[in-house]
């Protein structure tokens, strides 16, 4: 048990629940630390709200409750000092949908979309799926810390560049972009008249107490006008299977273009997603605070144990429950297979645009994480 009683140490058997994370290795002794969901039960308030909604028994077409919109507005104000209006919000069944809609909504086929790599794979696939060209600008890595390479960014831009897809905080490198980094990006967008699409799904998962997440839309009114911010309670409160996300777009023209890009293709949000989102935002804060403390412990355990593995290093994780581990020093040809054979399922760096790395999801009970790290250490010798 931790603190006031949310038990993050409890091992919940997810086998047989059609969990993507666990089904991948069904019947094999492989601890799955890959896809980004956590093995924790959601906040009790979320579970209770879902029970109540299910008991009602009628599950017709449902629009976003006004009380949910108020809960979102209150949360963004309380957490980030961000004043959002209800009409700026567009509900989406997922953030990946949002990335793809943004690519369709901005510019024309043949235009260019910049993103920083390594990155969550849909950032690289969304532009070509919309007939746009993706331009990958590598993040800089120095002294164990990832950062922006603003010179490379300037070199990458062309008259056809229309959109910058930003991951903030960044999956997989775990950075929370600072005010000066975000200001530099905002100025860059202004100079080249780009739309910014900022995926802030991990904004509620800042682990370092000395840093804070800043929505790029709050950098200046000028930045706000050109920004599509994508948000969701799904990562923070561990409800990604309930598919409830949203875009915040203050500029009416950009918002119209985004909604037009959704066409009739994007389905409604599932009503249970709305229910969970409202309960999470209204009542989930004590749970979130304990979660963050628990995840900090897990992050530190990963850093400590990976530090003992010869030839491996891991960047400090400021936010997310994902560690990005550098094993280029080991020359392992297929790191995912190597660790699977050792009994641990990780995500391969190549999928994120950077081979030689693996991503480890530490959103699980510590006993499971310790065992996975033990297996990795044994395999590496």
Angle (CA) 47-49-55 rounded to 5° is: 100
What is the closest distance, in whole angstroms, from the C-beta atom of residue 158 to ligand PLP in the complex?
26
What is the closest distance, in whole angstroms, from the C-beta atom of residue 308 to ligand PLP in the complex?
28
* Cβ count near 82 (within 10 Å): 17
Q: Phi/psi of residue 207, each to 5°?
A: -90, -35
Beta carbons of 304 and 292 less than 8 angstroms apart = no
Distance, CA of 318 to CA of 140 (rounded, Å) = 16
The contact pattern for ligand PLP, residues 20-59, with x = CB under 6 A and - = no contact, is ----------------x-----------------------
Residue 94 within binding range of ligand PLP, rule CB under 6 A: yes
Residue 223 within binding range of ligand PLP, rule CB under 6 A: no
- Identify which of residues 96 and 364 has a Cβ nearer to ligand PLP in the complex: 96
Residue 120 within binding range of ligand PLP, rule CB under 6 A: yes
Residue 240 within binding range of ligand PLP, rule CB under 6 A: yes
90 bridge partner residues: 247
What is the closest distance, in whole angstroms, from the C-beta atom of residue 277 to ligand PLP in the complex?
12
- Identify which of residues 90 and 338 has a Cβ nearer to ligand PLP in the complex: 90
Query: Which tokens is 333 given?
Result: 């040809």
Among residues 245, 275, 298, 347, the one that binds ligand PLP under rule CB under 6 A: 245
How big is the site for ligand PLP, counted in residues (CB under 6 A)?
13
Terminal CA-CA length for the chain: 34
What is the closest distance, in whole angstroms, from the C-beta atom of residue 168 to ligand PLP in the complex?
9
Residue 171 within binding range of ligand PLP, rule CB under 6 A: yes
Q: Which residues of 227-238 are buried (b: 16+ CB within 10 A; e: fewer)?
A: bbbbbbbbbbbb
Q: Strand 227-231 relative to strand 195-199: parallel, antiparallel, unpaired?
A: parallel
Among residues 39, 111, 199, 326, the one that binds ligand PLP under rule CB under 6 A: 199
Q: Is 175 exposed, middle or buried (0-12, 13-18, 19+ CB in 10 A)?
A: buried
Residue 229 within binding range of ligand PLP, rule CB under 6 A: no
User: Which segment (91-99, 216-224, 282-290, 370-378) binds ligand PLP by CB under 6 A?
Assistant: 91-99
């Amino acid at each position: 048990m931790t603190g006031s009683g949310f038990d993050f140490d409890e091992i919940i058997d997810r086998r047989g629940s059609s969990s993507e994370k666990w089904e991948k290795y069904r019947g094999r002794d492989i601890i799955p630390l890959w896809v980004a969901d956590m093995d924790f039960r959601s906040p009790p308030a979320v579970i209770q709200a879902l029970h109540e909604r299910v008991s009602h028994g009628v599950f017709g077409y449902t629009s976003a409750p006004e009380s949910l919109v108020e809960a979102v507005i209150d949360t963004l104000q309380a957490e980030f000092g961000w004043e959002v209006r209800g009409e700026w919000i567009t509900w989406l069944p997922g953030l990946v949908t949002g990335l793809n809609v943004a690519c369709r909504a901005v510019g024309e086929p043949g235009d260019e979309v910049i993103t920083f790599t390594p990155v969550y794979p849909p950032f690289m696939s969304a532009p070509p799926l919309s007939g746009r060209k993706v331009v990958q600008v590598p993040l800089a890595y120095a002294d164990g810390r990832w950062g922006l390479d603003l010179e490379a960014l300037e070199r990458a831009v062309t008259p056809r560049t229309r959109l910058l897809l930003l991951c903030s905080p960044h999956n997989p490198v775990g950075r929370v972009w600072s005010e000066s980094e975000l200001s530099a990006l905002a100025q860059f967008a202004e100079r080249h008249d780009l739309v910014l699409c900022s995926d802030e799904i991990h904004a509620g998962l800042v682990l370092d107490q000395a840093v804070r997440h800043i929505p790029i839309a709050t950098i200046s009114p000028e930045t706000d006008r050109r920004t599509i911010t994508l948000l969701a309670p799904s990562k923070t409160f561990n409800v990604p299977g309930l598919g409830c996300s949203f875009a915040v777009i203050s500029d009416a023209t950009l918002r119209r273009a985004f909604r037009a890009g959704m066409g009739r293709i994007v389905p409604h949000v599932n009503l249970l997603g709305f229910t969970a989102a409202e309960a999470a935002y209204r009542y989930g804060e004590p749970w979130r605070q304990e979660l963050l403390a628990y995840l900090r412990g897990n992050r530190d355990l990963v850093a400590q144990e990976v530090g003992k593995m010869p030839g491996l290093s891991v960047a400090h994780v400021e936010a997310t429950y994902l560690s990005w581990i550098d094993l280029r020093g080991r020359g392992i040809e297929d790191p995912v297979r190597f660790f699977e054979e050792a009994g641990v399922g990780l995500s391969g760096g190549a999928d994120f645009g950077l081979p030689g790395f693996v991503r480890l999801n530490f959103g699980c009970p510590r006993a499971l994480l310790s065992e996975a790290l033990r297996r990795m250490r044994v395999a590496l010798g």
